Structure 1
């Protein structure tokens, strides 16, 4: 896709040859290698890197569409102060001056940084060094607190260090993969594809999914456990007891390399009689899982946000680890607990101490020896002695005035933190807010006193670390647009202006990386897990050419050391004082609904979107699969509450409310409702689900419980509904409910309102703003209160609007396609007002395969015709599922449903 020009873009010499750059995907923690090609005309294309050991050429739907997210139309391209364009010197002087003034008057803990797993490691390192080392406060935290802080805490309690023991190859070598709280098929699709491919090759390989929802991941499961929310500790405590009774204990490993088993077992056994009630699972399902785990040597337990995002998340992590320590199934091929991170550089942030309770290089802020070591290395006499405020508490401190200056970088806490409306109010009250961003308009940037333009993917340069501890390069292949700069550079400039120039004399990311690697090896004689000292002397050219490398990579080791040599803990040697792992007693704490509420809200991701959609929302094909926020409910709950399929739903808690579309499905557990977290105030009226989420956190990790908020879910009584396709984004959307998304040729818009009388013409004019000379067609059925409008400019569709008293039944895919079509003849214009194609142009239906724009109706017709009875056959006939593979499980469900239909 060609990168769109912009008035503020720095002109560059036209390319004369095609350039090919190996880089890394900026989405999830899988860390896929990407090959980006820029042709002579400046158009960019991407494909998976077949040589990268994380993905071997595979990409998911999001990664495949990266080239479509590089436009400059909505970028922040120059600094702004008070909403007015400013020079870099003016903006940086103001930031440095305000922070210095606040520190002088109120102390170092009156300021804070809030960063992101979207940072490169070099950005993270400089931010952490500046705040903890030279400002002298621990008040730097990150949105990674929201995704993996409980894993960090659980690892440290058990291992003495934040160590992920295994590698991706273990997932393929395992005979049993247990996926706990992880919709891997949608959230980490390439790792899911690796597991699915291994299972195809070895049909005896088993997969168990543990999740209140039967997600796309469950399609490859031999056993799905629809666990009650919060039941994970009970499940793995029960497993620990069963493994002991079944004789599955590795007694030698336990005796030689662990302590604390007796207490952990006593706590687990003390509630075993309540196991069915605590987990919500039948005795038969529990026995099947326990027997499978006990009888299989090679077991990997993969866990993600369903475990971490809980007020008991750290205990959940340790309950899982306890079972692997008991059986000695850790650090060997095909064995071990495996935390998979949500963000592209959550691991890199952990390496440099990006969390408020850490020091760099996996050292502890509260450990006197670590504190002395880092202080000497950085020559930082003001190094913070105490942990800072964790994310949720940080913004509470902003709200109560304890933190008077906050710098938000590469993230959007107004949408992603729990109790998000309070976060917005906190920023509104804060005396000084700085936001470093790629996008000009987000729900956080409107609160900024100073806006600083950052480089985005394809423009910035540095390193990231994936979930298996593999460090990869993210390389620039595009010129910096406008005045945008790298985050490390912005932070360095502020540090210099605050008087710390000698400690921040970086000229390029490689300088930061070398210091990061040197600190990892400083006074490290194998007593710390994180070690990149083998790269201390890497020069600029070697850094530019650096291949993916897995840590530990100690000085003197060969560069291409195999992954098998990178596993931890097969022979013990943990990072506790006695080098033994700790069994951690984990108590069951059943969830209870608050009085006055009758359901539990679970939040998470969908297949084709990422975080708050600032990047993925720009790619039209990524909105084709799921175009608006939804509430997934079980049919029993929907019937009980009077909620109709595709109707609107109001989800309310003590903290806020959201309005979303109803998705009624038996895949959802009764008593629970799932709503995705991607929609913001930029693309929806009431879709910010984290405004509803409760703020309590895990007492150990500080991670909020984003998976279990007490809510009421009720029908939203709209009096009218609408759907529109528009070539241009509307400036205002006068509707109580809306969801706006990109489409080919423009935008698609779902609408609803509570007005007793709707002025359709006024709504149309507000959305479209027709020009003189435009042709307008309209249809009104006053009996049914249905109106349909379309505007054409030179015969080409500009916009169409459908309004009625019920959800609009028009074909979305047909209308969206018309936006990118040529001039329409009069007959086709009338067909457009009907809202669907005629018999000569079959309706492809809702999009299943976004890579090739294949709809559910097209796939269903091929299956019912008998020409495509397997997923591979559908791919051969229609191409669906043959690119990224993210839709293969959905195709499989369609095949199963059609087979039931044919035999029914």
Structure 2
């Protein structure tokens, strides 16, 4: 069975062996040609019922699916009757399939009659959408993945693609190996794994990217970098060049805090090389000037003519698997379906196609404003689909409180318990990857099928079906009378071509006549897919015709970057982002043991000078505080950071740690054009956490600790592992936990260390290890004891010590694909493995997805320096 990965926007093809549900890369899929990252390789481990929402619930009580849908429809109808359609909102997700997204958009904007449907793509790609529309007249990414292999220069800006888009990154790595003359420029405030391949790394001031590219535009004009053949196809050239005239080398160097020589190295490469590809992601988009940042990049590609040709162009890397599919169907509150807007002509066109006189006439509430409206009581019902805004939204604590007070919160979810579902009045079980059936669109506009290959668990239903059933109960049955996602898709495809005639870039009308069998067998294809391009289109704008009414592209004067600055009370700037093995708020990846091995608890990366200035060292616990709240986690020293900056991953939630929701620290400041929140620059301060003891607790049942300074949880096979920190006597705390008095205890004291094992009827139930410092325990050895029968007294004694009598610890896992630990890698380096290839030959690390190779190289380099 062939399907598509449900993680990032690379959109990798996946093959499933029906017999054992093993996962491998699809060698025929043009996005990955058989490659998978570690998250994709572990997809088979996410199948099953553990942690799933199996049954509908209404206000905490299990009900039938029909009863739950009746309640949803009845209460929505009452709210609309009393307060109007603007009192209702949907909040969707890039995890939805295009068919799900289409039905949600049609119901909300086409029949309820308000445009209050937004999506977590607002946090991800909204600024890129604005940039493309302002420049090209359409939300149309012009490039394809083949350009990675054909570029002379690749500029990676605001993206750690080595971790966030690892399969696309490996294509780039391979291309550079085959063509060493290819140059890579990485523009990022911190030195990330992606910098290991870079010829030039510009560690610019956070948020100053727009100034760097405005200066490049000015440089192009001065140094003869304008493609004169492009000028007839461009508007606003003179005004845009006049606006950037002050961005000379000195001004850019001052604003970006970069050396002149480094800036010139980048500008000269861009100017002199014929094929330049610029890749960007959240570091550009998640900014108060996110839209202008995008247009600053688009400006230089348009003026230099580096667009519409192989190996060059502006290429935004989509964060989620179907953020682009959501954009196609109008999933954002400021757009209508099929890339239409809210002009009277477009509203009329959509109304005629949908046979509805209720189509929304104006944009709805974007994400930040939507939750503010819930907080004010203006929106009284919200349906949240497949996302976790109580964690992922800025000012997450405020969002959680708004949901708590909202009269009607509907959540359709895969996971039984999330931070957001805790506020649900109605919980609807949704189908997960492997169960649902539909399409997704990746970063290069490629539509691929996501196919179901296992039976849905419990009463889980497709999101499109849940929405359609509610629509029918609201009285809109004829417009929502689908029996299969194929019927939804062909309607979506037909709408894309309806009264289009080349006026809209998104057009897949050639797919509108697919039979169900053809839909089931659909192979990946890039839009447009229409009469002019029945087999799809790899690149756009080769003819230099754009989608503004005059056919020209627009250059756009960009504003001065808004740069956050630390203060006396909050002297550091916090950056947030992803790590290699986790996805979003960990509702899927957090339950896969091997994906929790690379980084298994919330952490903050600190420059060594900043750590020392606060009395902190490697492995210490600290609180990070902004004006909005505080976060708690473990310190990791990172020499790749610039002084005054720190980095915290976005993934941890209240389901995995006590106080690790980093977006709760971030103010809800947004780009005024795109509405995308600025999640990258928050002024914070550090407060060391000084517990009297730290420890490890393994227990079979999940029971999150209370009244501790800190805890974090890692699910493992048959057991939960906690790392803890607290005050007072650790044994006293432990004996206060539920069920402790039922256990037979075995204890050991070694100085200030305390090790305790709890048994019930000869079966190991708990293992606890505590000391004034975090004890060194062999985690794999202890976890394995929970799956084995009771051992001998000697084996029990070894377990009490926390490590086997023989054998060596592997240390922190660096290669999640093959479970290779840091200590094993260090031993191999000591024994003569001096290259990543040699380590791969000896241990297999780095030979699958390659995401660990930068860390392998760092260990090799550190060993060389030590010698």
* 1:648–1:759 distance in 2 versus 1, CA, 3 Å: closer
Give yes or no for the alignment of 1:402 onto 2:369. no
In 1, the alpha carbon distance for the partners of 2:195 and 2:704 equals 42
- Unaligned 5+ segments in structure 2 are none
2:731 aligns to what?
760
| Aligned partner of 2:242 among 266, 270, 278 | 266
Q: For residue 148 of structure 2, what is the aligned residue in structure 1?
A: 171
8 Å contact kept, 2:388–2:420: yes
**Counterpart of 1:382?**
358
- Does the aligned pair in 2 maintain the 1:764–1:801 contact within 8 Å? no
Structure 2 counterparts to residues 778-817 of structure 1, below 5 A: 778-781=747-750, 784-792=751-759, 797-817=764-784
Offset of residue 482 of structure 1:
1.1
> Aligned ranges for residues 424-435 of structure 1 at < 5 Å?
424-435=400-411
| Matched residue, 1:457 | 433
Task: Render the CA deviation track for 1:354-394: whole Å, top value 9, x for unaligned.
Answer: 000001111112x2222221111111111001100000110
Whether contact under 8 Å (2:566, 2:572) holds in the other structure is no
Is contact 2:564-2:682 (8 Å) kept? no
The offset of 1:51, in angstroms, is: 0.7
Q: Mean Cα displacement is larger for which, 884-893 or 701-710? A: 884-893
**Do 1:165 and 1:336's aligned partners in 2 also have CA atoms closer than 8 Å?**
yes
Q: Distance in 2 between matches of 1:278 and 1:444?
A: 40
Residues 149-178 of structure 1, C-alpha deviation per residue, up to 9 Å, x if partnerless? 000011111111101000000011111111
Q: In structure 2, what is the Cα distance between the partners aligned to 1:695 and 1:768? A: 43
Alignment partners' CA distance in 2, 1:271 and 1:175: 26
Asked if residue 830 in structure 1 is aligned to residue 803 in structure 2, the reply is no
Residue of structure 2 in register with 1:90 after alignment: 67
Shift of 1:889: 1.6
SS in 2 for 1:361: helix
**CA shift for structure 1 position 794:** 7.3
Give the CA deviation at 1:833.
3.2
Partner of 1:863: 829
Alignment of 1:238-253 (within 5 A): 238-253=215-230
CA distance in 2 between partners of 1:764 and 1:875 (Å): 46
d(CA) in 2 for partners of 1:476, 1:590: 46
Give CA-to-partner distance per residue, 1:91-127, whole Å, 9 cap, x none.
1111111111111111111110000001000000000
**Structure 2 length normalisation: TM-score?**
0.97
For 1:837-876, list aligned pairs within 5 A: 837-838=804-805, 840-866=806-832, 868-876=833-841
Q: Are the structure 2 counterparts of residues 267 and 833 from structure 1 closer, same or farther at C-alpha, using a change threshold of 3 Å?
A: farther
Deviations 1:269-323 (A, max 9, x none): 2243321221121112111111121121111000001111111111110111111
- C-alpha displacement at 1:792, in angstroms? 4.8
C-alpha distance in structure 2 between counterparts of 1:528 and 1:706, whole Å: 32
Deviation of the 1:478 alpha carbon: 0.6
Do 1:733 and 1:767's aligned partners in 2 also have CA atoms closer than 8 Å?
no
Q: 2:560 aligns with which of 572, 588, 597?
A: 588
Q: Does 1:22 align with 2:2?
A: yes
1:8 alignment partner in structure 2: none
Given the alignment, which residue of 131, 137, 157 partners 2:134? 157
Corresponding residue for 1:213?
A: 190
1:695 aligns with 2:668: yes
CA distance in 1, matches of 2:731, 2:309: 66
Q: Shift in Å at residue 524 of structure 1?
A: 1.2
How far apart are residue 810 of structure 1 and its match?
A: 3.0
> Tell me, what secondary structure is at the counterpart of 1:364?
coil
Match of residue 34 from structure 1: 14
Provide, for residues 447-472 of structure 1, a one-character-per-residue CA deviation record: whole Å limited to 9, x for no partner. Answer: 11111110000000000000000000
* Equivalent-residue separation in structure 2 for 1:768 and 1:26 (angstroms): 39
SS in 2 for 1:566: coil
Are residues 1:721 and 2:694 paired? yes
Distance in 1, matches of 2:182 and 2:759, equals 57
Mapping for residues 735-750 of structure 1, pairs under 5 Å: 735-750=708-723
Q: CA deviation at 1:653?
A: 1.1
* Residue matched to 1:4: none
Q: What is the CA deviation profile of residues 527-560 of structure 1, one whole-angstrom value per residue up to 9, with x for unaligned ones?
A: 110011111110111111111111000036443x
The answer to whether residue 85 in structure 2 is matched with residue 108 in structure 1 is: yes
Structure 1 residue 506 and structure 2 residue 482: aligned?
A: yes
- Structure 2 Cα separation of the partners of residues 291 and 473 of structure 1: 42
Aligned to 1:143: 120
Q: Which moved more, 1:646-655 or 1:810-819?
A: 810-819
Deviation at 1:813, TM superposition (A): 4.6
Equivalent positions of 1:628-707 (< 5 A) are: 628-707=601-680
Can you list the C-alpha shifts for 1:659-685, whole angstroms capped at 9, x where unaligned? 111111111121111111111111110
Superposed counterparts of 1:445-484, under 5 Å: 445-484=421-460
Report the CA distance shift for 1:222/1:647 in structure 2 as closer, same or farther (over 3 A).
same
Deviations 1:327-354 (A, max 9, x none): 1001110000100111100000000000
Are the counterparts in 1 of residues 691 and 725 from structure 2 also a CA contact under 8 Å?
Answer: yes
Residue by residue over 1:404-433, the C-alpha shift from the partner in whole angstroms, topping out at 9 and shown as x without a partner, is 111111101000000000001001111111
- Separation in 2, partners of 1:474, 1:363: 26
1:820 is displaced (CA, Å) by 4.5
**Structure 1 residues 881 and 256: alpha-carbon distance in aligned structure 2, compared to 1, 3 A threshold:** same
Instruction: Answer whether contact 1:259 1:581 (CA < 8 A) is retained.
Output: yes
Unaligned runs of 5+ in 1: 1-20
Deviation string, structure 1 residues 25-77 (Cα, Å, up to 9, x no partner): 000000000111232xxx42111111111011100010000111112122111
Deviation at 1:588, TM superposition (A): 2.1
| Deviation per residue, 1:208-265 (Å, 9 max, x gap) | 1111111111111111111110010011111111222221110111x21111122222
- Does the residue aligned with 1:31 lie in a helix, a strand or coil? coil
Matches within 5 A, 1:554-593: 554-555=530-531, 557-559=533-535, 565-593=537-565
Does structure 2 conserve the Cα–Cα contact (< 8 Å) formed by 1:309 and 1:703? yes
Contact residue 657 and residue 711 of structure 2 kept, 8 A: yes
State the aligned residue count.
Answer: 865
Distance 1:570 1:483 in 2: 49
SS of structure 2 residue aligned to 1:358:
coil
- Aligned-partner Cα distance in 2 for 1:311–1:270: 21
1:887 matched to 2:852? The reply is yes
Per the alignment, residue 185 of structure 1 pairs with 162
Within the alignment, does 1:599 sit opposite 2:595 as a pair? Answer: no
Gap change, CA 1:328 and 1:556, over 3 Å in 2: closer
Correspondence 1:342 to 2:301: no
In the other structure, the counterpart of 2:328 is 351
Alignment CA distance shift 1:700-1:676 (3 Å): same
Cα shift at 1:599: 1.1
Distance 1:578 1:311, change over 3 A: same
Within 2, Cα distance between the matches of 1:765 and 1:619? 30
Q: Secondary structure at the match of 1:568?
A: coil
